[in-house]
């Protein structure tokens, strides 16, 4: 059986093409474990979908998509249907908005997909179809029963993450800087994040599993920088201690360095010292705002601007570069509060930073707020929710009730100028330096594609 996975992304965007989609690697690995050897043949792609449909002639097509690319996912599903292949769609968007399933999609996986996809593919293998009453017995999906969408009861998350097979990286493009996940979920409820809804609860791979996967990346794929893409890599302190202890007993530790994300209020001297011991070179944090009022609105009452400044200082003291992201444009955020964030960036020793305009994604609290203001709907143009505000500002959903769209654009561009200056000044001292040539080439290619498209 031939299964074609398509990662629905904007291939002209450097950030979207920087790494292969590891989620599809997990799905392929789970299917390999569930079926006899050589029973399945996979291909994972993110472009030239029409050509791959003809060349690979898949029996089943799987599509994953975030919200801003769901228009593209819908188009791919239509193409697959014309080819005669059943379509399974997954990812954060369909999980948060199951009723956005289109008639060209046979089933949508809601939430964690490994076990769900195995059952769907087994149904197709047994019956030659992805329709009929059997779909009602598969938990965690949305499907069509005649012309009506049906959602089955939710599937329980995998309790022991160590039972999940490591992703099938042999199907992916793996460079010298790659990434991995060591946990799933987050216990916090930031107003702009859907992680809690998607993953249901926080779970961790064991320290032993994490170290085995690192070893695989180093020896089998020649990776030299590994980024942990977890929401909360440092959230389990005993596990972090164990990871460090195990890594220090491995000969390969001196061949690799790491980056990770952290929540500022969890950064301590002990955590920073542990990260330093395991050769973590940079830590990224969602600091969000330099205004305590805005920060409370975005992240709740368990973090403050003082916590953010303290975390940056601790990391710098341990000679770990501190990177950060910020969010402007909350509904009641004033210009003065936005400028507090600008001042925070200038007055704290951040190495790299980025700024985003608050965007209401499905599955978040701010999505529900935007619905009450009739700013979003379940049948909208999903490209309007693009995270790249500098490209899509004219069509973006603006939540501010205080600043006009023009005022917000002017402020955002001010942050972008500071970002350009800061990042150019500091990138030479960060692990991201080795990525610069490839990133620059992709950005140039994307720019030229845009120029050609507009011209012709």
Q: Give the pLDDT confidence score for residue 387 in this predicted structure.
A: 87
Identify how many contiguous H helices and E strands the chain contains and give both numbers. Answer: 17, 15
C-alpha span between 221 and 174 (Å, rounded) = 7
Question: What is the length of the chain?
Answer: 456
- pLDDT band at residue 456 using 50, 70 and 90 as cut-offs: very low
Q: Taking the domains of the chain in order of start, what are their residue ranges?
A: 2-151, 174-445
**Which three-class secondary structure state does DSSP give residue 183?**
strand
Q: Give the pLDDT confidence score for residue 198 in this predicted structure.
A: 87
> Residue 224's Cα: distance from chain center in Å?
22
CATH for 2-151 is 3.40.50.2300
Q: Are the folds of 2-151 and 174-445 the same?
A: no
Percentage of the chain exceeding pLDDT 70: 94
Query: Which CATH superfamily includes the segment(s) 174-445?
Result: tm_1862 like domain (3.80.30.20)
Q: Is the pLDDT of residue 184 over 50?
A: yes
This prediction has a pTM of: 0.92
**Which three-class secondary structure state does DSSP give residue 71?**
helix
Please report, for residues 104, 210, 313, 317, 402, the alpha-carbon distance to residue 341 in angstroms, rounded to integers and kept in the order given. 45, 36, 17, 22, 17
The mean pLDDT of 103-113, rounded to a whole number, is 97
The mean pLDDT of 400-426, rounded to a whole number, is 93
Nearest Cα to Cα of residue 95 among 116, 109, 114: 109
pLDDT in tens, 67-90: 999 999 999 999 999 999 999 999
- pLDDT band at residue 428 using 50, 70 and 90 as cut-offs: confident
Q: Is the pLDDT of residue 443 over 90?
A: no
Q: Is the pLDDT of residue 27 over 60?
A: yes
Find the angle CA(12)-CA(15)-CA(18) to the nearest 5 degrees.
Answer: 95
Q: Give the pLDDT confidence score for residue 390 in this predicted structure.
A: 76
Percentage of the chain exceeding pLDDT 90: 85
pLDDT in tens, 197-234: 888 789 999 999 999 999 999 999 999 999 999 998 99
Whether 170 contacts 281, CB under 8 Å: no
The pair of three-digit structure tokens given for residue 252, joined into one six-digit string? 């390969």
Q: Provide the H-helix boundaries in 10-107.
A: 14-17, 22-34, 49-56, 70-83, 92-96
The mean pLDDT of 378-387, rounded to a whole number, is 93
Query: 151 forms bridges with which residues in the sheet?
Result: 142
Whether 417 contacts 355, CB under 8 Å: no
């Amino acid at each position: 059986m031939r299964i074609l996975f398509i990662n629905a992304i904007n291939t002209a965007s450097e950030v979207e093409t920087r790494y292969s989609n590891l989620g599809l690697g997990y799905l392929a690995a789970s299917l390999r474990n569930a079926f006899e050897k050589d029973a399945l043949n996979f291909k994972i792609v993110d472009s030239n979908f029409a050509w791959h449909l003809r060349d690979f002639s898949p029996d089943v097509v799987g599509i994953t998509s975030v919200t801003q690319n769901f228009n593209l996912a819908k188009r791919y599903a239509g193409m697959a249907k014309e080819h005669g292949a059943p379509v399974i769609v997954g990812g954060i968007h369909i999980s948060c908005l199951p009723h956005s399933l289109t008639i060209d999609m046979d089933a949508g996986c809601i939430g964690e997909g490994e076990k769900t996809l195995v059952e769907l593919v087994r149904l197709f293998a047994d019956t030659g179809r992805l329709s009929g009453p059997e779909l009602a017995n598969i938990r965690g999906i949305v499907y069509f029963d005649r012309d009506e969408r049906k959602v089955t009861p939710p599937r329980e998350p995998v309790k022991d993450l160590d039972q999940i097979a490591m992703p099938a990286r042999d199907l992916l493009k793996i460079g010298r800087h790659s990434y991995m996940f060591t946990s799933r979920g987050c216990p916090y409820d930031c107003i702009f994040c859907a992680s809690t809804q998607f993953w249901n609860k926080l779970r961790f791979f064991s320290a032993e599993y994490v170290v085995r996967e690192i070893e695989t990346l180093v020896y089998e794929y020649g990776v030299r920088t590994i980024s942990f893409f977890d929401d909360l890599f440092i959230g389990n302190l005993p596990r972090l201690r164990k990871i460090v202890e195990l890594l220090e007993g491995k000969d390969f530790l001196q061949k690799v360095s790491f980056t990770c994300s952290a929540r500022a209020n969890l950064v301590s001297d002990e955590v920073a010292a542990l990260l330093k011991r395991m050769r973590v070179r940079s830590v990224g944090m969602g600091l969000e705002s330099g205004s305590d009022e805005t920060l409370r609105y975005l992240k709740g009452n368990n973090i403050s601007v003082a916590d953010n400044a303290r975390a940056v200082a601790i990391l710098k003291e341990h000679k770990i570069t501190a990177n950060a992201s910020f969010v402007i444009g909350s509904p009641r955020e004033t210009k003065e509060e936005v400028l507090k964030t600008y001042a925070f960036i200038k007055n704290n020793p951040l190495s790299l930073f980025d700024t985003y305009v608050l965007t209401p994604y499905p599955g978040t609290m701010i999505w529900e707020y935007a619905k009450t203001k009739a700013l979003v709907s379940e049948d909208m143009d999903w490209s309007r929710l693009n995270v790249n505000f500098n490209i899509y500002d004219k069509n973006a959903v603006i939540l501010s009730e205080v600043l006009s769209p023009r005022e917000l654009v002017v402020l955002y561009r001010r942050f972008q100028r500071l970002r350009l200056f800061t990042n150019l000044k500091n990138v030479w001292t960060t692990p991201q330096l080795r990525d610069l040539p490839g990133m620059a080439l992709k950005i140039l290619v994307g720019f030229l594609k845009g120029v050609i498209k507009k011209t012709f």
